[in-house]
Amino acid sequence: MERHYRSRLNNHFSSLLKALPQKLIIAEVVGSVNFNEGMQEKRVSKGEIMELAKMYIGKLERIEKELEMDKKVLVENMERLKLEWTGMGGDILP
Listed by start position, the domains of the chain span 2-63
Q: Is 49 in contact with 16 (CB distance < 8 Å)?
A: yes
Provide the H-helix boundaries in 20-94: 22-28, 46-87
pLDDT for residue 10 is more than 80: yes
pLDDT tens, position by position, 20-79: 998 888 888 755 545 555 544 568 899 999 999 999 999 999 999 999 999 999 999 999
Q: How far apart are CA 36 and CA 59, in angstroms?
A: 26
pTM of structure: 0.72
